[in-house]
Structure 1
Amino acid sequence: MYKVIVFAGTTEGYEISRFLSENQLPVLACVATEYGSKSLQENSCLHVQAGRLDEQQMRDLFFREKPELVLDATHPYAAEVTQNIRKACEETGVSYTRILRTGSEQQNAVYVRDAKEAAEYLEGTEGNVLLTTGSKELAVFTSVSDYNKRLFARVLSLPSVIESCQALGFEGRNLIAMQGPFSKELNQAMLEQYQCKYLVTKDSGKAGGFLEKIQAAEALGVTAVIIGRPLAEEGLSLKECRHMLIERYGLKKEQNVTLLGIGMGSIGTLTLEGREAVRSADLIVGARRMVDAVRLPGQDFLYEYRSREIAAYLAEHPEYTKVVVALSGDVGFYSGAKKLVELLGPETKMICGISSVVYFMSKIGLSWDDAKIVSAHGKTCNLISLIRENRKVFAILGTNDGVRNLAEKLTFYGMGDVILHVGENLSYDNEKILSKQAKELVSYEGDPLSVICAYNLKAEPEPATHGLSDEEFIRGKAPMTKAEVRTVSLAKLKLSKDAVCYDIGAGTGSVSVEMALRASEGEVYAIEKKEDALALLAQNKKKFTLDHMYIIPGTAPEALEELPVPTHAFIGGSSGNMKEIVELLIKKNPQVRIVINCITLETVGEALGCIRELAKQEGCECENEIVQLCVSRSKNIGRYHMMMGENPIYIITVQMLKTSEEVEEQA
């Protein structure tokens, strides 16, 4: 006994039969011919019965096997067979479901009701015709004048079929005996070979090769004459049928998801592997631009680029078994693929594409192996520092004022002679590539879909360690942390490249500057209340080209409240608010690393006292260290050097430790 009987005269029937057997559901697949049976491989759950059945034979089969469900996946034009299956199900009380092929109305095509109307239409035309409707209705087309010269019939390569065609006058080069399926390229080659101006086909859906025929005709400007369906049927599509079976029998929800890098966006930058993935997909997902670039006519699609929403949709729609998520460029280059793999699982397949950096750099004739590659699209990116330090910087921008803003900043920081290579709408018909100095682009309004390569011949990499000399800073009357103290203090801070730093009581800005040079991919906030010091901070920011160093006027802790959460903080001056400052820092980030410079013992005591009190309040341990730094510098006196001592400095390092509960939660 079989749970399901499938009348599988089409690709949809074969697919649903395999789907059922793969889910260990006993299924009998009925096919009309021995040829059809070769499309299915029998196994313990799938048996194939070949031979045409009339209505009585169908009733007998249903009474004998007692199936729970009959699926009618016969050809859309097999109207009599469908009628017999439905009637046999009604008389035996078996549940019946019709599986439909998805047809779609094509533009620039001629629709006719039947083969007779198609022949009448062709009679009023000139030029060769490729007939792809099979041999059964071939006699109708003999009414076309000179049919045996201008009509080329493509039929199955069976002796009986060829004999019947020859009897109608189709023979020699006007008779093409081949077995499908036929790709777009093969259809196109035939249309070209026989110099056809028309192609006659039935709208037999995706599985019947209809799409490939239409695509070939469109590519060559050939008019498609489409014979409409004789039945206005109701039923389920293949995907809807799969969904119904999953719900009815509790089948496993297995999807094959491919993350596809589509290149720049035009179909020309899609790889052959990518095209094949798109061609076989049930569903195309992605941002509108990505989906529209690759989806085929009649193909299901979803405009969605957010990873969690994509994963949720696929979980809710298990009927889609082959899904392609279209991603811009390459899946490994600033792509959403990483997050999707986390959500969908490691079995998710990825197909690489042509990235924007590869495409664009080849267009401007520069290698990219020695370029600094970043993205400023939707994220903070310190391009100014990168361009200052690297000869070549490639960046994805993503806003229409991105080029202008970058050019303005480069010019402001004295780098107006940097060459900006700009690329917009890469690979599209309106692709635009230009190269100018930054100072020539300060008023430029471009396209959001843009990339740049900044070429800076004067680039100077920053030294690997701290240690700018005091003389390099623009000085005034504002206090400045001296070189030796800066070096030890910054070493104790242990900055990372992406650190978010506070310099509280920044003064001249010597610590802020060195912080910013080290944290080149992060942010530095210089907090200062004195007007003269604020002016010096601005001058030093510009001198050292530190676009990611932000000057915050005001007194701590009030001036800190609206700032981003810090990872590191340096306190060079507290204005008597040490406890309040440290309390706010720990409130913002319990694991913030703090370095405090003190001159007096009273300040040391105050700092340590408030740190211990706060640690006790937070119920955590605090790691702290005090270093006393005594520095002497030589002074030339004639031919002698006399050491002159500086005031001793106390350097306090504070690191709050995670509580055991926090460690357990993270584990």
Structure 2
Amino acid sequence: MIEVIGISLGQELLQSQLDRVVAADYLIGGDRLLSCFPDYLGQKIKLGNLLATIDKIKQIIATTPKVKIVVLASGDPLLFGIGRLLLEHFPPAYLQFSPSVSSIQLAFARLKIPWQDAIVVSSHGRSLRELEKALRPGKPHIAILTDAINHPLAIANFITALQLPVSYQIWVCENLGDKNERVVNLSELIKLHRSQLIDTHNDRSVPANMAGHLDPTESTASDIVNFQNNDDRPSQLPEQLPDLEFAPLNVVVLSKQAESPCLDHAQLPIVGIADQYFHSFSDQPGLITKREIRLLALGELELQPGQVIWDIGAGTGSLSIEMARLVPAARIYAIEKTAAGATLIAKNMARFQVDNIEIHQGKAPKILADLPNPDRIFIGGSSGELAAILQVCCDRLAMNPQSERKKILVANFASPEHLHLAMSWLKQRKYSVQLLQVNLARSVPIGSVSRFAPLNPVTILKALF
């Protein structure tokens, strides 16, 4: 029988567990856990190479079938621990697990955050792809097991590079359960560090107590920094922050923030606003036309002052906002079928201080009937009514009395079926159609190197009238 006993820092074993350790013929574990039993009289085996250790256990069992073996593990051995590997090599009936409190449990307890909806990701000896999968849809709470390569600052850099439409507060919980336990608000430390780089004229230093225990219950909204790219901030953090090093035993906890990052309107670009500054759908934060695609669509629209522009399927209103800021003299009509989307457009209008957008909640093409004739149309969504929407759009573009001016319709398509439908419909009616196929990727750091994280491919259709 192999008994796998979980041990947490600062927590004593049950007497029954201690009895099994004393009675074991072999005690297997890492140096730190083996040192917890200096008076053990049996044979100790250091847990180094896992597969080599498992082979040794098999040899011991083969020669001594009734041998008693205890394997020491950190916390819960079945939570990204040695338990999974043991189950791959030994029958379940031959294994007995006695978990302790995991570092993940302790981290959320220290932060006083309910974690029934949390996603747990291990980056220990792994890539950060699983973390990316949890970040993209904006999971509310994410706990990350780290290692020397994917350390807390590397994770912060990774989040920055993803340019997410949501923001996270980052906590680092070290040596949980030990007398040297520490909980660090990494968000606040990076905020201070970036302030030093930006305000180089101001001689400020990181307060010594910021590298100590920061009580999460004492944090305010102003303490929270959003790890996102902005033109006035460095996009990457150094490998070390002044006077701060993290213990090898640490857990990173990400907690999604409800509000979008604060805006400094003086620092906003004329065009090409970063995705994270828009209010977005809480359950689908990635449901926004990405900045790079918006820029290309704006170019295809060939906007001019005084135009009437329809934005059909406006979603969060990101493209409408860009158009409104770029051409203040234009009249923009944002058409969105959902109440949630219409609310987000209104919030983004207030956020970006634009007033040349009219929001029309309802489903196209019916809701288009009462709108003024357009000079430009953008179609971002059609809800299964693409052909009918195209018919109305083409009819209304032709009705514009300023017939000497060129009219343009632009549509984004992620689906080849919808693209084919639009192409076929427009070509049958002899409209001039151009396509722009867009395959883009953003670089993200992976340790000391980078890789490219692709955006969803999009085809931009442009029809001239």
TM-score under structure 2 length normalisation: 0.46
Q: Which has the larger radius of gyration?
A: 1
Higher relative CO (Cα under 8 Å, sequence separation at least 6) belongs to 2
TM-score, scaled to structure 1: 0.33
